[in-house]
Amino acid sequence: MIGAQGPSYGRVAGEGLDTTHGAILYLEEISVVFDGFRALNKLSLDISVGELRCIIGPNGAGKTTMMDVITGKTRPTSGTAFFGQTMDLSRMSEHEIAHAGIGRKFQRPTVFEQHTVFENLELAMKMDKRVRPTLFARLSSEQRGKIDEILKLIRLNGSEQRLAGLLSHGQKQWLEIGMLLMQEPQLILLDEPVAGMSDAETARTAELLNELRGKHSIMVVEHDMAFVTEIAQQGTVTVLHEGSVLAQGRMAEVQADERVIEVYLGR
Amino acid sequence: ADTIKVGILHSLSGTMAISETSLKDVALMTIDEINAKGGVMGKKLEAVVVDPASNWPLFAEKARGLIAQDKVSVVFGCWTSVSRKSVLPVFKELNSLLFYPVQYEGEELEKNVFYTGAAPNQQAIPAVEYLMSKEGGGAKRFVLLGTDYVYPRTTNKILRAFLKSKGVKDADIDEVYTPFGHSDYQTIVANIKKFSAGGKTAVISTINGDSNVPFYKELGNAGLKATDVPVVAFSVGEEELRGVDAKPLVGHLAAWNYFESIKNPVNADFIKKWKAYAAAKKLPNAATVVTNDPMEATYVGIHMWAQAVEKAKSTDTDKVIAAMGGQSFKAPSGFTLTMDATNHHLHKPVFIGEIRPDGQFNVVWKTPGPVRANPWSPYIPGNEGKQKL
Amino acid sequence: MLKKLLLLACLLYAGFARAAIDPAVLAPLAGDDPDARVAAIAKIGALATDEATHLLTALQNGDVYATPDGKLYFVADDKATDVATGATGPMPEGLDGVMINNRLRGAIEEAMSALKMFSPDRAQRLAAVTELQKSATLAQAPLIEKALAQEKDTDIRELLQLVAATANLQSPDAVKRQAAVAALVDSSNANLRPTLQTMVTSDADEGVRVAAAHTLQALDSRLARTEFVGNVFYGISLASVLLLAALGLAITFGLMGIINMAHGELLMIGAYTTYLCQMAFRRWMPDAIEWYLAAALPAAFIVTALVGIALERTVIRWLYGRPLETLLATWGISLILMQAVRSIFGAQNVEVSNPAWMSGGVTVLGSLVLAYNRIAIIVFALLVVAGVWLILNKTRLGLFVRAVMQNRRMAGCVGVSSAKIDMMTFGLGSGIAGLGGVALSQLGNVGPDLGQGYIVDSFMVVVLGGVGQLAGTVIAALGLGEANKFLEPVAGAVLAKIAILIFIIIFIQKRPQGLFAMKGRSAE
Amino acid sequence: MNHPSLFSRRAWSGIAAGVVVLAALPLLNLFFADGHALHVPSYMVSLIGKFMCYALAALALDMVWGYAGILSLGHGVFFALGAYAHGMYLMRAIGRDGVYQSDLPDFMVFLDWKSYPWYWSGTDSFWVSLALVVLVPGVLAFVFGFFAFRSRIKGVYFSIITQAMTYAFMLLFFRNNTGFGGNNGFTDFKRILGYSISAPGTKATLYLVTLAVLVGALVLCRWIVKSKLGRVLQAVRDSESRLMFIGYNPLWFKLFVWTLSAVLCGIAGALYVPQVGIINPSEMSPANSIEMVIWAAVGGRGTLLGPVIGAFSVNGLKSWFTGAFPDLWLFALGLIFILVTRYLPRGLAGLVRKEQA
Amino acid sequence: MLQVEKINQYYGSSHTLRGVSLELEKGKCMALLGRNGVGKTTLLKCLMGVLPVSAGSVKLEGRDITKLAPHQRARAGIAYVPQGREIFARLTVEENLLMGLATHSGKKAHTIKGEVYELFPVLKEMLHRRGGDLSGGQQQQLAIARALLAEPKLIILDEPTEGIQPSIIKDIGNVIRLLRQRGDMAILLCEQYFDFAQELADQFVVLSRGEVVASGAQAAMNDPDVKRHLAV
Ligand SMILES: Nc1ncnc2c1ncn2[C@@H]1O[C@H](COP(=O)(O)OP(=O)(O)OP(=O)(O)O)[C@@H](O)[C@H]1O
Ligand SMILES: Nc1ncnc2c1ncn2[C@@H]1O[C@H](COP(=O)(O)OP(=O)(O)OP(=O)(O)O)[C@@H](O)[C@H]1O
Ligand SMILES: NC(N)=O
Ligand SMILES: [Mg+2]
Ligand SMILES: [Mg+2]
């Protein structure tokens, strides 16, 4: 699996990332405390290279907070977070983390509202993102082709000159997924990707994820059980509760777990 | 043309409007007065008023506009030294005339400028001499308190040299500056109080107009009376006191070349005209208008210029300059003032007044006659022999 | 009618009864010789009669006039009373005020305080003794002893003893000097320092030198403490001014997000309203002039609130959601308001005087004067802060205000009329600025530029505290006030100001969201 | 892609027309005598020369404010520092023609200084002073910006510290002892590179240089905002944190435009001094910096040409009003500001751009 | 209760709603369905008055409210749960709930009914936390609770289940059912979660490109014709 090249986008583990032990992300004993409230409580978790991991759990379990820790938005109160064997996420800034290969879709769609759909994708595109290269950047035809490809995938072709701020909620969700793909990250974090999508759209998203499976490492947070079942397949599903792992296992096992039913699924 | 244009370059807005607005009005009044008597060389004067808005580069622009566009023969204007410095190159380049009516720090002499305000030796030095005299309280220690800009800094430099020449030691001089618009004088007044414990102390204030009210209010708060620590100010006159409850200030001093309270027929006439003018033009607060030193200097300046033009029979700059030398005018101060041909400054009498509860001044000391200006202060090294143009 | 005549007769008689000062003593007063005039004052003071007191008071108040031939008259209500004879008649020709200057005024004060030491009125005696403390000389020692012998009041006695000791510092008798120095060990009169210092170094007597050194040390440490307390007080007082200037802005800018460049002009309007109230009182209720501020406060609040509401309705309401544009529009408003005031009231400052109860101060720790107007403003600032806090946090209006400012559209969807709330909030902020203006009018200039002097400081206070954080605004004002007042004695006002600005820049580096930064997700 | 050219054809023709007209003014002034129908008064030429400097400053400000969303309330300090840097040369070029006939400037003689302080060294060279014009504002901006942006100071917090900075500099320069002429600043210049500063030819040259710099700056800025970097800057303005999550470090992007803007502003100041004839600390007063913001806002922020138009119109109106209605002009100007915000939310430039929306 | 007649809406020049009409009775629940970007949210905003309509009318209990501002509509009895939650981020949870009572007065305006805590126990735990600090799902719960507190005649829900955990979705379903049964409220439910909508609705409307393309009673929701409009 390591080093496998996808046909169009994607790379599993790129340059500079040491994944010799098979895992791409390690969280160890992470705690996050807000004014005395423990949003994460000694959370330990790791994601293998190429894995698609589903995370579920009640509202307020700490799923988004966990993603905040991984992407550098929130500093853990204690514990360690490593990307590969060597990159200590708690010492890196947001853009360094992003540059190292972690991409994220936020729970609430966040796009550059004053930029067109095209520009949003262009900004996200993988390239040297320092000042000078940006100043002299010119789109190659290959890159342009890439953007067109993604535009089709997220079904916003035809809308590429619209301002992103004018898109509907669901369209923004898609645009954000498109931006994520443009970044070609090694690890993709998706926070409720199908919230606000119709059932048909949800199905398409599931399809897309299944296609990406194995080309990237992916972590998905969702409350839509049908969707989770669809993409989890035989993989691991982790249930968070009150800031730590409550249960972990195949989807069917987890769904049958009494505690999970109690706190999350309901009867 | 059948009129002679004169420019009036005083800030009507911005921070300096507080002081300069009334100079514009006095200038207009004086021009009306001259016109009523038939004008100059049979022509009426036409005032061109512009507002440089307390903005120094705008002063230069407006000066250029007045001279080059409006073709005025002379400009009456400026208050702060920096505004004067800003317009100087313009007057030199276009060879035109400026009459500057405000007391200033000296260290300047320009062919194109006539200075109708006081040089340091016509205001600051006599005031300090008075404070040191027995009658003035026999001050031994001095607080030189000013706003942080060139006029106070320069004046204080001259005063320090002067005090030293009189045997006052550095330890007995405290020099303190505040930023423009400073409004909290608690610490400074406390320090003055502390300093004054060391012997008879006087404060020499070159505080810029706006900060004076908070300063005097704080003095009153701290219970420092004029009999304890007299303050002599060079920028506080009748116009400034109009905005203050003067009762707590009674006995503090100011040195000028003119006070409204001076009693003589010329002054009575001047005051009467001004009050009438204010009422006729419905100036704001017309009922309480007062006259002050720079207003008198403006009045004198315009009249002298008119006389000089009559004498030169021309408004040509060089001819008027030549005619200005030795011009004299019976001024509201009660003296006949003469324009010095060699240094373009007026010979002026010096008065020291104590503040009265009604905001006017009691003259407590005056020079026997007009004093010649020393724009190049002898207390500044290197100025020897620089008294002429 | 008859009654009136009788009264007049009595008054006349009283006038006659006063006629007891030798014209020869009086004569120099009308003359030109300063030394002779000072001597005359001393002589009159030495008479120690009611007539002498009356004359000295009248001199001090400028009520004494002289004719060219050297006769003195009291003048009141177009009647002149001859000082020497007490005869009252019409005003003689050529009457002119007897000129007094500081030197003469000083002499009069000295003479009066000696007289007042024996006054039956405790307050007068206290004032006289306090005055004497500044400069008691050996010559006055007998007088002081006499007063001490008569004095019953313990407070005044204590003071008198200090005064006596001060006078005795100059005594030729070393024992007396040493006793005096020792007695002064509890004094906090800074004026003693030079004398003590000379004594420490050059007194002939060893014992006096030692005692003087001891007293000087005690005095210095007391003065240092006083200075410290003074700085703290000055800092609080400056803080209260900054706070009053900034509070309105904390609402219009902090809460509503309007970069209100016209805030300073609202302060100014508040101050001008105060001025108008004062004028109205002078004109129609001169007896109640002391209390004009009581009317000025509500009036200023209402006037500025109405101005604010008018601005909100006509200009600002079009700019919600475009905060940066508010800068441009309010700048325009500020130009217009300033010029309007200039056109109506003139470019010059107008006079606003402190009511008598706000002038002067209370002396603590011996020499520190806490001015009444400063104290009043500190208390007032506290009251205004408390009021604003209550409105914003404890009322439904406050809740709606905060809700509208955070999410105008959603507030509408739950049934709050944001237009109304916007109007009221801006009105409230403006009204508070008006109250600030009332306070500022008591400390400094009231002129068209008043606001310009405070606008920069106000923004600094609000931003430093953290936009939208009332508590932050208060702490920031306090911090800036104290920092300023502790730096100023060391660095001078100019460098202190520069240092404060640099401090602000550095502080914001540490706390990029101000003192009371919003934490957590809601901050984004 | 969709930005084929720097300016639209219409904009290009507008700019070209503007440049031709502006360039013609000093020539008409020089070649037609006073009284001739085509004569342009020198008053007008010097006025426009001054406005062009203001326009350059407004353009610089718009780069940071309009594009990167960084509102500076302290750009006056860069303008003034550029002006002072150039002014030092002009002061030294006075030589012994000052009132004290010393090699030192008058204010130094007056303060009893015997030689130039170290920070004046090299300023007798025109080229050193040019370097300083770029370096002094540039380095100050770089250092200030580096710390501020690294601490992630944004929005009004940033605006306020820029205001504090310019205010502090103003107070510092007011002091005589700082060595820059105190409140009076530098004035009464005599010559530049040996040419008399009041000679018509020198004035025309300065004017044309200013015009060239302004046009050059306009093209440079346009090129920058049209590049991908320009789009990153706008993303900084709209959602800085989002930008970090796709791998850009906003610090360097902000620092780049911030420093560039300061340098442009400094150059504007340097061109301003010899034309206006005075530089003093009041240029650093907070109100002056706010006025620059006003120019940009009136013209239309985020449009490049807008600030240029804004600087010309606001200052033009001010010049006209202060002469024509000295008592009432503030009402008129204030009203214009209000009306522009109310009815032209995108400034004067919005008038032109309306149909594009 | 609610009558919408031929409303049209434009964003600039793009015609987003084209003659949409619908009618909803008291005590009934209507599901509003449609793909992403067809104009559902736009329609709901028009009903709430957040967006103006260019033509057509909206009536509530026979009263024409087309020209009313949102706050007036709220006072007329409409409550709204917007897409994207729109919590007052810097108000506490409690204050957010009090905002739901903004249309009430007197004592009623200060009492938060205990029922909402039963439905959303987490809100009670977090009463003093700032709204903006809550997790996404918690905020959604808060938004629903806020609308319920207003005791409206018509409640408009824009994707209320978005981001909420399954067990609570069930609870929300129960509440809607309860409200429907009580019969004094009309419910307009825009929902992507088809099964959920189907379970609760009495009738439905499907939008496509701003037009009503299908509508009917609940039973008809499974028609392939309807499903076709929802498929990609
Ligand atoms: N800044 C903060 N201050 C206080 N509490 C916070 C803060 N940020 C998050 N929390 C709390 O931390 C907990 C975890 O929040 P988080 O957003 O990670 O939950 P989540 O698992 O993503 O939930 P959801 O499924 O609803 O999105 C929540 O209870 C939330 O209220
Ligand atoms: N402010 C706006 N300006 C212009 N067009 C807009 C604006 N808001 C939304 N649109 C467009 O209007 C259409 C309808 O948007 P709307 O938000 O109503 O869709 P929706 O049906 O609610 O979609 P979703 O299920 O994704 O929430 C979309 O194509 C959207 O891009
Ligand atoms: N010349 C003055 N007072 O600045
Ligand atoms: Mg979440
Ligand atoms: Mg929607």
Residue identified by tokens 């936390």 is: E129
Strand order in the sheet with A87-88: A37-48, A23-34, A78-83, A87-88
| pLDDT tens column, B40-94 | 999 999 999 999 999 999 999 999 999 999 999 999 999 999 999 999 999 999 9
* Shortest CA gap A216–chain E (Å): 25
Within 8 A of E79 by CB-CB distance, chain C residues are 414
Q: Which of D169, D331, D337, D348 to mutate to test the interface with C (most CBs of C within 10 A)?
A: D337
* Shortest CA gap B97–chain C (Å): 27
* Shortest CA gap D352–chain A (Å): 20
Q: What residues does the ion ligand 4 have nearby, CB within 5 Å?
A: A 63-64, 107; E 135-136
* Contact state of C502 with D154 under an 8 Å Cβ cutoff: no
Within 8 A of B107 by CB-CB distance, chain D residues are 99, 106, 110
Ligand 1 pocket, residue A238 CB under 6 Å: no
Within 8 A of B60 by CB-CB distance, chain D residues are 276-278
Map out the domains of chain C as residue ranges: 19-104, 132-204, 229-510
**Does a structural domain hold residue D305?**
no
Mean pLDDT of C111-124: 82
Which CATH number does the domain housing residue E8 bear? 3.40.50.300
For ligand 3, atom 1, the nearest C-alpha belongs to: B104
* Contact state of C339 with D156 under an 8 Å Cβ cutoff: no
Task: Output the CA–CA distances (angstroms, integers) from residue B263 to B296, B358, C100, in the order listed.
Answer: 14, 16, 17
* Contact state of D278 with B150 under an 8 Å Cβ cutoff: no
Model confidence at D260: pLDDT above 80:
yes
Residue identified by tokens 């009438």 is: B276
Residue C283: Cβ within 10 Å count: 8
Position B196, amino acid: S
> What is the structure's pLDDT at B251?
92
Tokens linked to E163: 């981001």
| pLDDT tens column, B346-378 | 999 999 999 998 999 999 999 999 999 999 988
Neighbours of chain A (3+ CB pairs under 8 A): D, E
Gap between the Cα atoms of C75 and B183, Å rounded? 40
* Contact state of C331 with D290 under an 8 Å Cβ cutoff: yes
* Contact state of D198 with B89 under an 8 Å Cβ cutoff: yes
Nearest to E157 by CA among E201, E114, E118: E201
Ligand 2 pocket, residue E200 CB under 6 Å: no
Sequence-ordered list of residues with C-beta below 8 angstroms from that of C154, at least 6 positions apart, any chain: none
Count how many domains chain D has.
Answer: 1
Mean pLDDT of C116-143: 80
Ligand nearest to the CA of B206: 3
List the alpha helices (DSSP H) in D32-154.
Answer: 42-62, 75-93, 106-110, 126-150
Ligand nearest to the CA of E35: 2
Within 8 A of D229 by CB-CB distance, chain A residues are 131, 134-135, 137
Contact B179, B148 (CB under 8 A): yes
From the CA of A260, how far away is ligand 4's center (Å)? Answer: 18
Mean pLDDT of C124-139: 80
ipTM of the complex: 0.91
Gap between the Cα atoms of B73 and B316, Å rounded? 7
Tokens linked to D338: 């209000």
> What is the structure's pLDDT at B246?
87
Chains B and E touch (3+ CB pairs under 8 A): no
Sequence-ordered list of residues with C-beta below 8 angstroms from that of C123, at least 6 positions apart, any chain: none
**Does a structural domain hold residue D249?**
yes
* Contact state of C505 with D71 under an 8 Å Cβ cutoff: no
Count how many domains chain E has.
Answer: 1
> What is the structure's pLDDT at C18?
47
In sign, the C-alpha dihedral spanning A71, A72, A77, A83 is positive
Gap between the Cα atoms of D139 and D120, Å rounded? 17
Round to the nearest angstrom and report the end-to-end CA distance of chain C.
84
Ligand 2 atom showing the smallest separation from residue A168 Cα = 17
| pLDDT tens column, B257-300 | 999 999 999 999 999 999 999 999 999 889 899 999 999 999 99
Q: Does D239 touch chain A (CB under 8 A)?
A: yes
Q: Angle, to 10 degrees, between the axis of helix C206-249 and the axis of helix B186-196?
A: 170
Ligand 1 pocket, residue A229 CB under 6 Å: no
Give me the residues of B, 144-173, that contact C with CB < 8 A: 148
Q: Which of B109-113, C107-111, E116-120 has the highest mean pLDDT?
A: B109-113
* Fold observed for domain A19-101+189-194+219-266: Rossmann fold (3.40.50)
Nearest to A193 by CA among A209, A216, A182, A213: A209
From the CA of C407, how far away is ligand 5's center (Å)? Answer: 19
**Does a structural domain hold residue D196?**
yes
Model confidence at C459: pLDDT above 90:
yes
Cβ contacts from C onto D, under 8 A? 119
| Segment holding D118, helix H or strand E | none
From the CA of C282, how far away is ligand 2's center (Å)? Answer: 66
Which parts of C392-434 are beta strand (E)?
A: none
Q: Does C463 touch chain D (CB under 8 A)?
A: yes
> What is the structure's pLDDT at E136?
86
Tokens linked to B236: 């506080």
Q: Which of C324, C500, C507 to mutate to test the interface with D (most CBs of D within 10 A)?
A: C324
Please name the member of D165, D286, D328 whose beta carbon is closest to the beta carbon of C505: D165
Sequence-ordered list of residues with C-beta below 8 angstroms from that of B105, at least 6 positions apart, any chain: B81, B120, B150, B151, B154, B155, B158
Q: Using CB atoms within 10 Å of the CB of residue C301, give its burial: 0 to 12 exposed, 13 to 18 middle, 19+ buried.
A: buried
From the CA of D50, how far away is ligand 3's center (Å)? Answer: 27
From the CA of A108, how far away is ligand 5's center (Å)? Answer: 13
* Contact state of D1 with A98 under an 8 Å Cβ cutoff: no
Ligand 1 pocket, residue C520 CB under 6 Å: yes
* DSSP per residue, D219-244: HHHHHHHHSHHHHHHHHHHHHHHHHH
Residue identified by tokens 């809406």 is: E9
- Mean of per-residue pLDDT scores for chain D: 91
D304-331 exposure pattern, b = at least 16 Cβ within 10 A, e = fewer: bbbbbbbbbbbbeebbebbbeebeebbb
- Tell me the CATH class for C229-510: mainly alpha
Ligand 1 atom showing the smallest separation from residue E135 Cα = 17
Task: Output the CA–CA distances (angstroms, integers) from residue B48 to B24, B67, B70, B274, D322, in the order listed.
Answer: 10, 10, 8, 20, 11
Q: Using CB atoms within 10 Å of the CB of residue D34, give its burial: 0 to 12 exposed, 13 to 18 middle, 19+ buried.
A: exposed
Nearest to B51 by CA among B74, B91, B83, B5: B83
CA angle C418, C523, A195 (to 5 degrees): 85
Confidence of residue D20 (pLDDT cuts 50, 70, 90): very high
Model confidence at A72: pLDDT above 80:
yes
* Shortest CA gap E91–chain C (Å): 7
Gap between the Cα atoms of C269 and C446, Å rounded? 9
pLDDT above 90 as % of chain A: 71
Q: Angle, to 10 degrees, between the axis of helix D75-93 and the axis of helix D42-62?
A: 140
Contact B179, C497 (CB under 8 A): yes
Task: Print the domain residue range for D208.
Answer: 14-285
Ligand 3 pocket, residue B234 CB under 6 Å: no
SS3 content of chain D, % helix, strand, coil (to 5): 75, 0, 25
Gap between the Cα atoms of A118 and A143, Å rounded? 12
Ligand nearest to the CA of A68: 1
Contact A82, A26 (CB under 8 A): yes
Please name the member of A71, A115, A122 whose beta carbon is closest to the beta carbon of D234: A115
pTM: 0.92
* DSSP per residue, C334-402: HHHHHHHHHHHH-SS-B-----GGGSSEEEETTTEEEEHHHHHHHHHHHHHHHHHHHHHHHSHHHHHHH
* Contact state of C351 with B243 under an 8 Å Cβ cutoff: yes
> What is the structure's pLDDT at C523?
58
Model confidence at C520: pLDDT above 70:
no
